[in-house]
Structures are given as structure tokens and as C-alpha cells.
């Protein structure tokens, strides 16, 4: 089989794999809900697999000079630029996972406060304090300039009669930021910019997998940003300009639309991450705050039972976070490294390809 | 241990026994040198004794009354502060220790009541509930107090006092090899601090006096299972302080995109800043923070290292991210020295980092560090290679006017003059590279004379770099049409090369043999120049028939004219040539003078009969003086001199 045909076959296979993988992602099993920690792990795995295949097609056994000619002299540098933007997003999301961990820690306090028999007023107060901090941590607008310094937390002045919100201030540290004035939403936006599906002859050649990989990379980064609170997500684009007629893109687009719907719903209410565990935690926290607000020892038996059920659910979520968050950070780091390496490979190819023929 | 159903006398006797035991326990508890374990045992015993008391009393209900009394007392002490606007720890040590005692007592009561057998006494439950509420209130208060203490007594230190050596002169090289003036770069003010400086420098991030207070709060909170709240408060205050300090140092967060797009001068100073901040943060701040955590939370298991990790990791990762962004950047030659700085900084901080983050939870930071170190090393090597390539490929379309020292030469030599400082690091990094990379000019055989320095990897690479440079200079010399100028150019440039090597630590790496050889080279070019220029000129003054009588007048006239024209031509051309080095210039003039003036004087002397003719345009003196004008760098034309 001649190389041209082989190439076409490889591209087709690649796109079939992409389609399959995203179809799998679209129908997760029961305990692997969309945008849960374990689902995100799978998403990252999909990325790594696709990327490996992509690199193999583009670079392996290929004459570098081929990739320096049009349209690759534009497509490859664009891809590399998007890759760099993706790196910053990886960092932002990794930071974000830390703030999710913080929520996990706070929920631990709630659990140990409420996991008492008999439950007393003191326990309820303790839980309420932690719950307020938890809700504040989850819903804090991740806009710049809204961080409440610990020192401003009213400790030193006007202590008595202070309002609860101040006590619950969650400090959003400066080093949580990727950079001043950086915005994850804008970053995604700029990655989408200029993303044009190849047409005509190009659609059946190498430009096609390049486009595919671009879309995958953008989708993965976008999903991460939607799930995990990170710097300045306000204005996150919800629409991807991917033509529906592309076969391989169906499941991906389907996923994207599903997540985008959720995002739009949430955007109105406040900015907690779409991470499944966070969402569940938020609901439980709300329910438990209502409980602790109205609790007086010994409390209504039904309500106490309900709270106990909530707590046990919270324990489960805590467990999942406890197990999954650190590996998630490591996984993101793996993706980070892979993108760095990929970028280097492509830069090398460009350099070799543009060297003057002696 | 169940309540004895005995009569009053025994019951009272039991009470006495228990009371006595209680006193003993209290007395023991007051001893200073108790180990933590022993103390815990005594505390437990204390609670149990309280329980026995109340158990014995249970029939009469007096045990619980006693407990309730104690609780009332503790409650009073605790609640009085709820309405007091003052902070407890600001009010004095006695107030603080009283409060802690009351909290402690409450905690014991809670423990004791909980440990009671399951009699489901309603009164018991009520008291327990009350005690737990009071405890919760106290814990909440302690959290506030903790934050207040940390904030009020937190201290920041002046970074400049830590590392006071002068900052290295910011030598900036840009890509286009713009000529760099031969600034006398002081060898001594090389770095802002030596990388051999090991050892941390611990400062008090919180005033030493309040450490015991914090520790006692920690103890009480952890004993009552309020450890998480303590950690939450402690971490948030300390983390904020670190991050404030971080921005105080002037380091800012930059995205990878920003760094990759950054212009060199800006990036260079940020890289410089980074090496400085890194050392201060790791060796001073984090070391001190770790010590604080240990002081306050030591003895509580892994809590101390957990808190330390949470406090420090965001800042460290931020610093590391900058390093990674730099390592990802394009491998330009001018980056080399700064990359080596960053590499060396990380290398010497490795041990500190391994110590600070020695637990498993912190191992990912160690990993980051090692990864970054490797990447910076690779980047540095790539920059080094780029340097070599840039030298080879630095092409010129036009010959360099005047034949002086080429800017490329200046750039390269001034740059590599600083390499010896990084000798150890470069040797380490270059060791894996092929030594004596194949070049156009083969490596001379230094054989047995090579000392250790001249045969280290860096020395090989330095020599290969200068070989590249020499090749390039040879190519550039070919652009001159005038052969003499080619030699002047090469003479100037090789002389410059040698001077730079001799006048710096480079001489140790290049070795005497190399210096001797290159001295010979430029001297050869000098001689070649002379031959190329003056042979033809002086040929006019040659004596065709030595020994015979003087030549004919017409021959003399011809010769004279020939000489004048040739000389003037040379004068016009070669006054615009340049020999920047004064000594070299002088040497060449002298040597030329000796040849030319002597020949002229002899020539005129032999043909004295014709010398008053108009054809002798220039006096010997004039010729002599005119020679002094050569190589000044600006073209002149010779004015006629007066005839004698």
C-alpha cells in the first residue's frame, strides 16, 4: 500500500478511535457520573491516548520538510500556540483542585461535628460554622479582587455581633492565580479563536487530524475549567464552532452541549465548579445548614435522621475526593508534561523542516 | 467500679480515698519534667477519678452535683470572655492560663461523662450536653485568639539583610551581536551570593515569646478533637503571610504564555530576580516556617508537616512554574548564563527541599524540583549549542570597515570570559556531550602537557567555540579585496582573542600552548601584511646594482615618483584602516618604519646628487611622520612636504 493510502487509513482509524472514546465518555456507568473526579480521570486518559496517536500520525516516519509547507506552516504553529495556552489552563486547574481539597477538608469538620450520637447544640454550631465556610469556599466568585484576607476577618475589631459571612471568609490566595488579569474563560476563548475546520481537499489530508486534535484539546481544557473552580471563569464560552457533519465529532459535541447546559444553569446561581462531587456537596451543605439552623437539642427525630443520612452521603463524597483528588492533580501534571513534550517535538520538526537544503 | 451500696461510713471513706488519689494526681501533674505519655496517663487517671467520685455519689446524686459545680465554675470563666471586647491573650498570661485551665477542665468533664457506663441518666445527659456546648464555644474563641496572636505577633524580615553581596552587573546581550564595549567587568562582583553558602537562616516568623501560647492553644484544641479547626486557622494566616511576603519580594505570577513572549531584557532581570527570591524563600522563609510548625505542632504526629505543606506549596509551585516556562523557551545563546544561574540555584537548594518536604505527602514537590533541574540543564546545553551555531552562521555580506576587531569577536570573547565562573556546572552538564565536538578546525594535541583544567569538558568546548569563531573570522577576511587588509583584520582579531584569554581566567582553560600558538598566528599575519603592502613599495627603492655607482637621473626620477605614488596610495588607504590595540599598532608602525624609512634614507643617500630635484616629493622625516598616521581609522591624503 502506498504511503498516501496508508496515511488516509491511519487518519480514518484515528478519527474512529476518537469517536469511540468520546462515545464511551458520554455514557458513564452509575457511579462515574459526568464530570465526577473519576470521569475526569477518564477524560484525561482519552486525551493522552488521542494525543499519542496524533503525534504518531503527524511526526513518525515523516519528512520534516513536509510539515513546513503550506498549510502546515500555519497549522502547526497555531497548534503549538494553543498547546501553550492549554499549559496555563492545566496550571490553573491544578490550583483549582487545591481549593476543592480545601472544601474536602472543611467537609471533614462537618462530618466529625455531626457524626455524633447524641447530637448536641455545640456540635450543630460547630458544623454550622464549617458549613458556612464550605459554602463560601465553593461559591466564592473566582473573580479577582474578591479575596478576603484572614486579617480582615473581623478578629481584631468589633468581634462581638459580627456577621457570620465575615467569619466564613475564605482566603483566596494570591499564588492561586496563574497571573494577574489572567482569565481562564478568555484563555479558552482565544483557543477557540481561528479554529476553522479544513475544507475541500484539506479535509481528507493531514489538516484533518490536526483540526481534530485541536478540538479535543480545547474540549478537554474547557471541561476541566467548567468542572474545577479556577481563576476568572466568568464568560466561559458555551459554544464550540465544530461543524455537526463531522462523523468523529458527534459524541464530543453531544457531551459539550450537555455540559454547556449545566454551565448555563449554574452561571445564574453562582460560580461553583460543575464537578459532580462539588455539586453534590453543595446540595448536602445547603440541606445541613438548614438543619443546623433549626436545630435545638435534642432535636426533631426525623430531621436528625435526615441529617444523619446527609452526613453519611457527605462521607461518601469525602471518600471519593480523598481518593481521587491527589491522583487527579498528578494526572493533570502528566497531561501537562505530555503537552510540553509534544510542543517540543513539533518545534523540532518545524526547525528541521525549515533548515536550508545544503 | 459500680457505686457501692455500702453504708455511709464506707461511702465517705471511699470518697476520702478517691479525694486523696486526686490530690496525688494533681501534685504529680504539677511536676515539670513529665513526659508527654506520663502526662496523658495522669490526665486519664484524673478523669477516671472524677468519675469514680461521681459514681460513688450517684446514689446520693452528689457526684453529679460535684461535676455540675465544676462545670459551672469552668463555664463562668469561659463565658465571661464572651462579653469582653478584649482578646484573652492580650490581657495577660494569668488570664490566658486561667482560660485554658477552664477549657481543659471542661474537656475532661466531657471525656469523663462520656466514659460513664450506659445508665442513661437524664441529668447526666443534660450536663454532658451543656459541657459540650461550652467546649464548642471555647474552641471557637480559641480559634479567634489564635488568629489574633499570629497576626499581631507575626514578623517580616528584610530580605536585603540576608544576602548583602552586590548584585551582579546586568550584562545584557542581544541576538544581533551588537558590539559590546570592553567594559572592565569586575571578576569579583560576579554573583549576588556564592552558591556554596549552605545552611539555612532561621528567623522568627512569629515573635518567640508567643510560641508557647500558640503551643498551648494547639494542645487544648487537639485534645478536644478540634485539631482541624486549629489547622484551618493556622494555615490560612500563615499562608497569607507567606504570599504577602512573596509579593513584597517583587516576584509576580506570570503565565507560561507571558514568559514565552517576553522580551529578553525583561526576562533576564526576572530570571535574576527568581534566583534571588528562590534562595530567600527556601532557605530563610520556609526553613523558618517549618521550624515554627515543628515548635507549635511537634509531637502531634504528621500534623506539623501537613500544615507546613499546605502553607508553602502554592508559593513553591508558583516559583517552579516560572522555571519551567523559562526552560520551555527558545534556546537563545544569550540565555545561557542566566539559565546556568537558575540551574545552580536549584542544584544547591535540592538538599534543603528534600529536608523540608521529606514526607510522602510533600514528595511531589521534590519531584517537581528534580524535574525542573533536569529541564534547566537541558535548556542550558541547548543554549550553549545555539551559541556555537550562532557563531558559525553569523554571516557578513560586506567586509568589516577598517579591518578592526569584529563585533562578533567582542561579543563572543566577552561572553565566554564569564564561563569559568560556571566551570563546575558546565563540566557536569557537558560531560554527557561529546567532548571536542567535530569542528572545521581540528583540536590540537595537547598531549601530556595538558593540566586538568585544560582538559575538562568545558575547556574542550571553549576551544571549539573559539575555533568556530576563528573559522568565521577567516571567512569574513575573505571579503576584503585587499590582501593586506585581510591580514590586518586577522591580526587584529586573533590578537584580541589572545588578549581576552590571557587577561582572564580563560587562560587556565586554554593553556599556554594555545596562547603560544595564537600569538604566533597574529604575528604571522603582521608579517604577511608587511610583505603584502610594503614589498612592492620598497621595491622602488631597491638597489639594482649594488656596488656600482648611482643610477641614472631618469631612473631615479622614475623610482622616486613610483615610490611617492605608491606611498601616497598606501597612506590614503591605510590611514582608514584600524588597529585598535595601541601596543599592536605601535609595534607594527615601528616594524614598518624600520623597513621603509631605512630603505628610503638609504635610497636617497645613495643618490644625493639628485635630491634637490623636484622629484623628491617627501623628506625622510615626512615619510617617518606619515607612517604614524597609519591605522588611525580615518582616511587622509598626504600633503606634499616641502622640499628640503
Mutate to test the interface with A, among B86, B120, B124, B136 (most CBs of A within 10 A): B136
The band of A141, judged by pLDDT with boundaries at 50, 70 and 90, is low
Is A182 close to B314, i.e. CB distance below 8 A? no
Cβ-based contacts of A150 with chain B (< 8 Å): 147, 151, 236-237, 240
Cell of B195: 552558591
Q: Report ipTM for this prediction.
A: 0.89
**What backbone torsions phi and psi does residue A52 show, to the nearest 5 degrees?**
-60, -45
Does the beta-carbon distance from A155 to B321 stay under 8 Å? no
Confidence band (pLDDT; 50, 70, 90) for A173? low
φ, ψ for residue B285 (rounded to 5)? -65, -55
Assign 3-state DSSP to chain A and report helix, strand, coil percentages, each to 5: 70, 0, 30
On chain A, the residues whose CB falls within 8 A of the CB of B257 are 84-85, 88
Contacts of A24 (CB under 8 A, 6+ apart): A42
Nearest to B282 by CA among B246, B323, B325, B244: B246
Global pTM value: 0.83
Round to whole Å and give the CA distance between B314 and B323. 14
Query: 148-207 in A: which are within 8 Å (CB) of B?
Result: 149-151, 153, 155-156, 159-160, 171, 173-180, 182
* B501/B637: higher pLDDT: B501
Give B578's strand partners: B632
> Could you tell me if A128 lies within 8 Å of chain B, comparing CB atoms?
no
**Chain B nearest-CA residue for A334:** B368
Contact in structure between B88 and B95 (CB atoms under 8 Å): yes
| Higher-confidence position of B451 and B278 | B278
Q: Which residues of B touch A109 (CB under 8 A)?
A: 228-229, 232
Residue B548: the pLDDT is 61
Q: Poorest-confidence range of A243-257, B259-273, B281-295?
A: A243-257
> What is the DSSP annotation of B559-592?
HHHHHHHHHHHHHHHHTS-B---HHHHHHHHHHH
Within 10 A of B450 (CB to CB), how many other CB atoms are there? 14
Contact A19, A212 (CB under 8 A): no
Q: How confident is the model at residue B20 (pLDDT cuts 50, 70, 90)?
A: confident
In which band, very low, low, confident or very high, does the pLDDT at B195 lie, cut at 50, 70 and 90?
very low
Report residue A270's pLDDT band, with 50, 70 and 90 as the boundaries: low
**How confident is the model at residue B2, as a pLDDT?**
45
Q: Contact, A121 vs A297, CB < 8 A?
A: yes
| pLDDT given for residue A145 in this prediction | 45
- Measure Cα distances from B524 to B10, B495, B515 in Å: 121, 11, 14
Are the beta carbons of B457 and B505 closer than 8 angstroms? no
Which tens digits make up the pLDDT trace of B153-194?
988 877 765 553 333 434 444 433 433 444 443 333 334 444
Bridge partners of residue B632, in order along the sequence: B578
Q: What mean pLDDT is predicted for residues A47-71?
A: 89
**Half-sphere exposure of A343 toward its Cβ, with a 13 Å CA cutoff?**
23
- How far is residue A279's CA from residue A285's CA, in Å, rounded to a whole number? 10
- pLDDT tier at A29 (50, 70, 90 boundaries)? confident
Q: What is the pLDDT of residue B190?
A: 38
d(CA B99, CA B103): 6
The answer to whether B444 contacts chain A (CB < 8 Å) is no
With CB atoms and an 8 Å threshold, state whether A120 touches B260. no
- For the residues B380-402, what does the mean pLDDT come to? 91
Top pLDDT among B199 and A198 is at A198
Task: Give the whole-angstrom CA distance, residue B427 versus residue B377.
Answer: 11
- Crossing angle (nearest 10°) for helices B227-248 and B287-297: 160
Residue A160 has pLDDT above 80, yes or no: no
Whose cell is 604577511? That residue is: B528
Question: Quick one: pLDDT at residue B605?
Answer: 82
| End-to-end CA separation in angstroms for chain A | 32
Nearest to B240 among A84, A118, A171 (CB): A171
Q: Is the pLDDT of residue A337 over 90?
A: yes
Name the DSSP class of B632.
B
Does A284 score more than 80 pLDDT?
A: yes
Look at residue A164 in the predicted model and tell me its pLDDT. Answer: 36
Q: Is B154 helix (H, G, I), strand (E, B) or coil?
A: strand
Across residues B564-571, what is the average pLDDT?
88
Cβ separation B252–A180 shorter than 8 A: yes
Residue B492: which H helix or E strand, with range?
Answer: helix B483-502
Residue B608: predicted pLDDT: 76
Q: What is the mean pLDDT of residues B603-611?
A: 76
Cell numbers describing residue B6: 455500702
Res. B15: pLDDT tops 50: yes
Is the omega angle on the peptide bond into residue A118 within 30 degrees of 0, that is, cis?
yes
pLDDT value for A63: 84
CA distance, residue B130 to nearest chain A CA (Å):
8
- Residue B488 in grid coordinates: 590586518
Query: Rounded CA gap, B229 and B142, in Å?
Result: 10
Half-sphere exposure of B191 (CA within 13 A, CB side): 20
Res B35: pLDDT? 78
The CA–CA distances, whole Å, from B227 to A120, B74, B135, B140, B143 equal 19, 21, 13, 12, 10
Contact A173 B82 (CB under 8 A): no
Of the partner residues A112, A122, A330, the one whose CB lies closest to the CB of residue B135? A122
Please give the interface size between A and B, counted as residue pairs whose CB atoms are below 8 Å apart.
113
First CA to last CA across chain B, in angstroms?
Answer: 139
Which residue in the set B225, B229, B243 is minimally distant from A174, CB to CB? B243
pLDDT at A272 over 70: yes
* pLDDT, tens only, B521-564: 999 999 999 999 988 888 888 876 666 666 777 888 888 888 88
Gap from B402 CA to chain A (nearest CA, Å): 32
| B21-43 confidence digits (pLDDT tens) | 778 877 887 777 777 778 788 87
The pLDDT score that the predictor gives to residue B161 is: 54
**Distance of alpha carbon B588 from alpha carbon B579, whole angstroms:** 9
Mean per-residue pLDDT, A314-319? 94
CB contact set of A2 (below 8 Å; sequence gap of 6+): none
Q: Over pLDDT 90: what percentage of chain B?
A: 44
The average pLDDT across B378-406 equals: 91
What residues of chain B, 349 to 378, have a C-beta less than 8 Å from chain A? 364
Q: How many angstroms separate the CA atoms of B489 and B508, rounded? A: 27
Q: Which of B85, B243, B255 sits opposite A160 (nearest CB)?
A: B85
Note the pLDDT of residue B23. Answer: 80
Do B314 and A175 lie within an 8 Å CB cutoff?
Answer: yes
Q: Do B236 and A150 touch (CB under 8 A)?
A: yes
SS3 helix, strand, coil % of chain B, rounded to 5?
Answer: 70, 0, 30
Three-state secondary-structure class, residue B232:
helix
pLDDT of res. B226: 93
Q: Which one has a higher pLDDT value, B51 or B229?
A: B229
Chain A closest CA to B388's CA: distance in Å? 16
- What is the distance between the alpha carbons of residues B439 and B441, in angstroms, rounded to a whole number? 5
Measured between beta carbons, the chain A residues lying within 8 angstroms of B153 are none
Q: B327 to chain A, minimum CA–CA distance in Å?
A: 10
Q: Count CB-CB contacts under 10 A for residue B200.
A: 17
Residue B193 confidence (pLDDT) = 41
Å from A70 to nearest chain B CA?
A: 23
Rounded to an integer, what distance in angstroms lies between the CA atom of residue A297 and that of residue B131? Answer: 13
Identify the weakest region by mean pLDDT among A79-83, A95-99, A147-151, B417-421. Answer: A147-151
| Residue B57 pLDDT | 53
pLDDT digits (tens, 9 = 90+) for A180-205: 888 899 999 999 998 888 888 888 88
The residues with which B154 forms a beta bridge, in sequence order, are B206
Helix axes B93-115, B36-56, angle to 10 degrees: 60
Residue B271 has pLDDT above 60, yes or no: yes
Which of B243, B256, B321 shows the shortest C-beta gap to A84? B256
Sort out which chain A residues have CB atoms less than 8 A from B148's CB and list them: 155-156
CB-closest option in B140, B253, B328 to A177: B253
Supply the pLDDT for residue B555: 81
Q: Which three cell numbers stand for residue B598?
A: 631605512
Amino acid at each position: 500500500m502506498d504511503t498516501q493510502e496508508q496515511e488516509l487509513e491511519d487518519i480514518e482509524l484515528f478519527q474512529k478511535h476518537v469517536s469511540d472514546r468520546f462515545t464511551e465518555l458520554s455514557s458513564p456507568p452509575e457511579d462515574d457520573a459526568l464530570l465526577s473526579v473519576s470521569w475526569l480521570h477518564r477524560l484525561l486518559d482519552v486525551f493522552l491516548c488521542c494525543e499519542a496517536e496524533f503525534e504518531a500520525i503527524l511526526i513518525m516516519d515523516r519528512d520534516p520538510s513536509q510539515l513546513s509547507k503550506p498549510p502546515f506552516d500555519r497549522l502547526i504553529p497555531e497548534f503549538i500556540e494553543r498547546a501553550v495556552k492549554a499549559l496555563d489552563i492545566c496550571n490553573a486547574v491544578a490550583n483549582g483542585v487545591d481549593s476543592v481539597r480545601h472544601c474536602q477538608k472543611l467537609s471533614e469538620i462537618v462530618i466529625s461535628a455531626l457524626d455524633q450520637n447524641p447530637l448536641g447544640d455545640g456540635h450543630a454550631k460547630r458544623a454550622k460554622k464549617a458549613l458556612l465556610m464550605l459554602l463560601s469556599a465553593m461559591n466564592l466568585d473566582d473573580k479577582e479582587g474578591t479575596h478576603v484576607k484572614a486579617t480582615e476577618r473581623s478578629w481584631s475589631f468589633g468581634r462581638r455581633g459580627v456577621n457570620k459571612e465575615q467569619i466564613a471568609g475564605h482566603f483566596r490566595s494570591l499564588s492561586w492565580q496563574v497571573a494577574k488579569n489572567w482569565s481562564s474563560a478568555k484563555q479558552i476563548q482565544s483557543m477557540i479563536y481561528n479554529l476553522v475546520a479544513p475544507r475541500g481537499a484539506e479535509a481528507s489530508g493531514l489538516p484533518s487530524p490536526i483540526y481534530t486534535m485541536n478540538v479535543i484539546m480545547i474540549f478537554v481544557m474547557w471541561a476541566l475549567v467548567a468542572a474545577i473552580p479556577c481563576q476568572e471563569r466568568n464568560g466561559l464560552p458555551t459554544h464550540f464552532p465544530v461543524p455537526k457533519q463531522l462523523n468523529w465529532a458527534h459524541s464530543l459535541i453531544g457531551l459539550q452541549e450537555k455540559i454547556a447546559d449545566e454551565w448555563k444553569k449554574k452561571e445564574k446561581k453562582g460560580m461553583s465548579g460543575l464537578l459532580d462531587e462539588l455539586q453534590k456537596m453543595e446540595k448536602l451543605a445547603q440541606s445541613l445548614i438548614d438543619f443546623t439552623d433549626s436545630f435545638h437539642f435534642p432535636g426533631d427525630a426525623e430531621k436528625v435522621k435526615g441529617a444523619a443520612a446527609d452526613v453519611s452521603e457527605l462521607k461518601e463524597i469525602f471518600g471519593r475526593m480523598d481518593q481521587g483528588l491527589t491522583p487527579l492533580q498528578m494526572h493533570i501534571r502528566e497531561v501537562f508534561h505530555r503537552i510540553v513534550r509534544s510542543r517540543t517535538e513539533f518545534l523540532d520538526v518545524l526547525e528541521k523542516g525549515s533548515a536550508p537544503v545544503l | 467500679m459500680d457505686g457501692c451500696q455500702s453504708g455511709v461510713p464506707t461511702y465517705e471513706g471511699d470518697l476520702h480515698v478517691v479525694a486523696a488519689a486526686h490530690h496525688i494526681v494533681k501534685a504529680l501533674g504539677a511536676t515539670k519534667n513529665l513526659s508527654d505519655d506520663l502526662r496523658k496517663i495522669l490526665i486519664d487517671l484524673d478523669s477516671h477519678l472524677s468519675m469514680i467520685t461521681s459514681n460513688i455519689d450517684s446514689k446520693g446524686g452528689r457526684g453529679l452535683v460535684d461535676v455540675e459545680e465544676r462545670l459551672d465554675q469552668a463555664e463562668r470563666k469561659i463565658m465571661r470572655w464572651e462579653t469582653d471586647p478584649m482578646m484573652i491573650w492580650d490581657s495577660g498570661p494569668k488570664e490566658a492560663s486561667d482560660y485554658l485551665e477552664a477549657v481543659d477542665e471542661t474537656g475532661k468533664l466531657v471525656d469523663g461523662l462520656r466514659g460513664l457506663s450506659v445508665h442513661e441518666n437524664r441529668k447526666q445527659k443534660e450536663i454532658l450536653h451543656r459541657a459540650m456546648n461550652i467546649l464548642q464555644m471555647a474552641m471557637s474563641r480559641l480559634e479567634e485568639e489564635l488568629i489574633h496572636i499570629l497576626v499581631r505577633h507575626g514578623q517580616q524580615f528584610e530580605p536585603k539583610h540576608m544576602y548583602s553581596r552586590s548584585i551582579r552587573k546586568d550584562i545584557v546581550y542581544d541576538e544581533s551581536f551588537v558590539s559590546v564595549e570592553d567594559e572592565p567587568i569586575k571578576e569579583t562582583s560576579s554573583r549576588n551570593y556564592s552558591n556554596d553558602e549552605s545552611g539555612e537562616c532561621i528567623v522568627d516568623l512569629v515573635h518567640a515569646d508567643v510560641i508557647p501560647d500558640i503551643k498551648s492553644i494547639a494542645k487544648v484544641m487537639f485534645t478536644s478533637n478540634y485539631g482541624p479547626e486549629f489547622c484551618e486557622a493556622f494555615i490560612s494566616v500563615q499562608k497569607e503571610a507567606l504570599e504577602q511576603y512573596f509579593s513584597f519580594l517583587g516576584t509576580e505570577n506570570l503565565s507560561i504564555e507571558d514568559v514565552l513572549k517576553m522580551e529578553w531584557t525583561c526576562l533576564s532581570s526576572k530570571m535574576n530576580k527568581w534566583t534571588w527570591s528562590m534562595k530567600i524563600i527556601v532557605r530563610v522563609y520556609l526553613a523558618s516556617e517549618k521550624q515554627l510548625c515543628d515548635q507549635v505542632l511537634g509531637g502531634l504526629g504528621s500534623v506539623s508537616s501537613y500544615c507546613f505543606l499546605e502553607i508553602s506549596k502554592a508559593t513553591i509551585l508558583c516559583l517552579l512554574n516560572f522555571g519551567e516556562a523559562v526552560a520551555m523557551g527558545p534556546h537563545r545563546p544569550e540565555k545561557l548564563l542566566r539559565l546556568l544561574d537558575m540551574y545552580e540555584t536549584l542544584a544547591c537548594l535540592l538538599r534543603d527541599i528534600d529536608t523540608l518536604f521529606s514526607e510522602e505527602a510533600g514528595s511531589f514537590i521534590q519531584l517537581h524540583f528534580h524535574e525542573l533541574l533536569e529541564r534547566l540543564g537541558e535548556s542550558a546545553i541547548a543554549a550553549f549549542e545555539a551559541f556555537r551555531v550562532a557563531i558559525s552562521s553569523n554571516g557578513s555580506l560586506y567586509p568589516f570597515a577598517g579591518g578592526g576587531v569584529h563585533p562578533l569577536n567582542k561579543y563572543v570573547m566577552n561572553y565566554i570570559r564569564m564561563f569559568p565562573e560556571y566551570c563546575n556546572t558546565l563540566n557536569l552538564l557537558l560531560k554527557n556531550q561529546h567532548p571536542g565536538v567535530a569542528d572545521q578546525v581540528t583540536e590540537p594535541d595537547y598531549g601530556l602537557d595538558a593540566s586538568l583544567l585544560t582538559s575538562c569538558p568545558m575547556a574542550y568546548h571553549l576551544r571549539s567555540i573559539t575555533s568556530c569563531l576563528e573559522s568565521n573570522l577567516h571567512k569574513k577576511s575573505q571579503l576584503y579585496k585587499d590582501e593586506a587588509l585581510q591580514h590586518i583584520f586577522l591580526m587584529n582579531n586573533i590578537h584580541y582573542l589572545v588578549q581576552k584569554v590571557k587577561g582572564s581566567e580563560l587562560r587556565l582553560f586554554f593553556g599556554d600552548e594555545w596562547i603560544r600558538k595564537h600569538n604566533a598566528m597574529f604575528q604571522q599575519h603582521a608579517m604577511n601584511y608587511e610583505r603584502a603592502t610594503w614589498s612592492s613599495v620598497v621595491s622602488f627603492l631597491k638597489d639594482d646594482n649594488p656596488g656600482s655607482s648611482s643610477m641614472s637621473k631618469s631612473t631615479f626620477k622614475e623610482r622616486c615618483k613610483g615610490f611617492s605614488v605608491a606611498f601616497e596610495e598606501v597612506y590614503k588607504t591605510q590611514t582608514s584602516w584600524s588597529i585598535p590595540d595601541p601596543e599592536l599598532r605601535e609595534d607594527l608602525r615601528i616594524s614598518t618604519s624600520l623597513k621603509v624609512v631605512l630603505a628610503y634614507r638609504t635610497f636617497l643617500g645613495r643618490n644625493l646628487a639628485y635630491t634637490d630635484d623636484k622629484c623628491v616629493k617627501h623628506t625622510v622625516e615626512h615619510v617617518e611622520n606619515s607612517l604614524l598616521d597609519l591605522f588611525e581609522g580615518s582616511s587622509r591624503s598626504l600633503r606634499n612636504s616641502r622640499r628640503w
